[in-house]
A and B are shown apart, each in its own frame.
Chain A
Amino acid sequence: MTNTRDKWLGYAGRTLVALILLFVLLPTIVVIISSFSSTSVLFFPPKGWSLRWFERAVTYDDFKDGFYAGLIVTAWASTLAVVIGTTLAIAINRYEFRFKQLLEGILLSPLFIPHFTIGLGLLMLVAQLNIGRGYPLVIFCHIVLVLPFVLRSLYVSLQNLEQRIEQAAASLGASPLRVVWTITVPLMIPGLFGGWLFAAILSFNEFTASLFVTTQNTQTLPVAMYNYVREFADPTLAALSVIYIAVTATLLILANKFLGLGRVLNVDASR
């Protein structure tokens, strides 16, 4: 009796999970099919097939410029965020100083302050100070937004670090700075890389705050894409989305294979 019930319960559970996965995948499948459409008006299913939208996606000037601007912003923002985050994480984790909690609280606050508020604030600040809206503004904005995530991943790697190695170095006469530079930082490298990658992906995709702080010259790819949807209805954006999805999924599959995504994201069962 119980056994048949359990079996049906198992089937029901599996069907439910499969349906939910289908819901998650649905837009991706639909966007992939649409990107090969031959007509310039989106119909579903497409009336014919072509690759012309892929060609347009990689040759359209605003997308090319947005891609380069995005690379500049992402490279600077994620690297600086890792430097700022690492020094702060070491200081917070190992030492006491004044206003420690206040500082940490402010830097984690972008997790709960809407991105449009942060973008608006920075935009009004540079307007009031009469500074132009250039790359520094966009980069600073992205640093602020990715820093909470970087800090979180660095705390984890600092906590897992064997403190006795640091103590051994110190007891052998290494100065505290030398301990940090030759022991702590090298041991943190996997965490640093993970934090950097996470920051880079988030920064490259950031949209809402970027919409406020970028100009025509500094607009990143998501902003260029948003402006495109508002002007055109052809499947170029579907083609670009497919390229995006392919690159992201490849990166994640590789990360899963070599780093163990479950472990990185902390969702593996504890026992």
Chain B
Amino acid sequence: MTRKPAFVPWFVLPSALTALGLTIAMLTVLQYSVRAYIPGSLDVGGFTLSNFEDLFKSVYFNAFLNTVSLSFKTALFGLLMSYPLAYALVKTRSGWLKSTILIIAITPLFLGEVVRTYSWIIVLGNSGFLNSALIGIGLIDQPVQLMFTETGVVLALVHVTMPIMVLMLATGLSHIDPAYARAATSLGAGPIRSFLTVTLPLSIPGIIASVTTAFAWTFSAFATPQLIGGGKVSTIATMVYQLGFSSMNFPFAAALSIAGLILTFLLLSAFKRMTQPLQRVGAH
């Protein structure tokens, strides 16, 4: 490190102002969360803690449980679907296959939540692709209700989080020295055994990173639970929007957001603590 030249403060200034704006916005959420709601007005009343007491009402409590359950399911199924793809992406020796997998796997990442959710509506609807296909081959004769169900929301959310999971898993896998797996094979381990005892344990840091990200993404997903859940599957995100824009109850929306943030933080740090012994396996 060299001595600090005079221009450094000027280089830091724009980002410091950005960080200041973000911090003030977050403090505003905090401040609103302890203010009283005046029905029919955007102004807020005096300081109160009643917003946080209301969080324990069953509607809101259920939204919390729903969000956590959706996030767990999405992260788990997302991992099961993403790992084989990431593995194939890193291991394949054919150039065009690598490019094909990469393009197919990551294009959805750049499409945005609305386009992807809309596509799933056409797939899952009562006269949509899945039901028409299943009726067409005679497997069912009445459409299966998939829209407005948790199953439908999880399916779409897995699809939404897969690209980022594939990328993170592939980054982790690509940094594992293939010599380890070769050594296992040359010592007589079959492909399954060398995968289970060498590659899989070494990829644990990537697994943890991708599961954490999937969890955080699902937690903040809005369009998917809102459109596919259609009011039947309420999450913290859909509740915050409803409270803010339908009833203009910004203080309570703020309290819900703060509680959501605290919950994310607690769950993620619990997850990190639980997986700490596993992390060490990966750090070779």
Contacts and interface: CB of A to CB of B under 8 A. Distances in A.
Interface residues of A, number: 97
Nearest to B83: A20
A59 interface: no
A59 B122 CA distance: 23
B206 to A, nearest CB: 11
Which 9 pairs show the lowest CB-CB distances between chains A and B?
A114-B220, A205-B112, A27-B119, A121-B25, A176-B5, A267-B170, A88-B15, A87-B11, A106-B19
B119 A28 contact: yes
A256 B103 contact: yes
A229 B237 contact: no
B174 A226 contact: no
A240 to B, nearest CB: 8
6 contacts: A17-B101, A24-B85, A24-B104, A114-B216, A256-B103, A267-B102
Interface of A: 2, 5-6, 9, 13, 16-17, 20-21, 23-28, 30-31, 34, 42-45, 83-85, 87-88, 90-91, 94-97, 103, 106-107, 109-118, 120-125, 127-128, 140, 143-144, 147, 170, 175-177, 180, 201, 204-208, 211-212, 222, 225-226, 229-230, 237-238, 240-241, 244-245, 248-249, 251-253, 256, 261-262, 265-271
Interface in B241-259: 241, 244, 250, 253-254, 257
Given A121-B25, A266-B171, A30 B103 contact: no
Interface residues of B, number: 92
Contact of B102 (A106, A245, A256, A271): A256
B132 to A, nearest CB: 5
Nearest to A237: B118
A6 B194 CA distance: 13
A21 B85 contact: yes
Interface stretch (B26-34, B196-204, B273-281): B26-34
Contacts of A27: 116, 119-120, 122-123, 159
Contact of A140 (B21, B110, B237): B21
Interface of B: 1-2, 4-5, 7-12, 14-16, 18-19, 21-26, 28-29, 32, 42, 81, 84-85, 88-90, 98-99, 101-108, 110-116, 118-123, 125, 127-129, 131-132, 159, 162, 167, 170-171, 174-175, 177-178, 190-192, 216, 219-223, 227, 236-237, 240-241, 244, 250, 253-254, 257, 260-261, 264, 268
Contacts of B190: 2, 5-6
A94 B118 contact: no
Residue among B119, B127, B170, B174 with the highest chain A CB neighbour number at 10 A: B119
A91 B4 CA distance: 10
B223 A207 contact: yes
Contact of B261 (A31, A113, A226): A113
Contact of B162 (A24, A90, A96, A177): A24
Contacts, number: 278
Given A91-B8, A144-B22, A211 B222 contact: yes
Contacts of B4: 95-97
Contacts of A96: 1, 4
A111 B214 CA distance: 12
B122 A31 contact: yes
Given A121-B28, A144-B22, 20 more contacts: A5-B190, A21-B101, A28-B107, A31-B122, A42-B122, A42-B125, A44-B128, A95-B1, A115-B220, A116-B240, A120-B244, A122-B25, A143-B18, A205-B110, A207-B223, A208-B220, A252-B103, A265-B171, A267-B89, A267-B167
Contacts of B7: 176-177, 180
Contacts of B257: 114, 116-117, 120-121
Contact of B119 (A31, A95, A106, A205): A31
A199 to B, nearest CB: 12
Contact of A265 (B5, B84, B106, B220): B106
Contact of B5 (A83, A140, A175, A241): A175
Contacts of A6: 190-191
A123 B26 CA distance: 11
A116 B112 CA distance: 15
B128 to A, nearest CB: 5
A107 B222 contact: no
A109 B11 CA distance: 20
Contact of B22 (A43, A84, A110, A170): A110
A268 B175 CA distance: 9
Contacts of A118: 22, 25-26
A261 to B, nearest CB: 6
Contacts of B111: 205, 241, 244-245, 248
Nearest to A118: B25
A241 B220 contact: no
Contact of A248 (B88, B107, B219): B107
Given A103-B19, A109-B22, A144-B18, A269 B107 contact: no
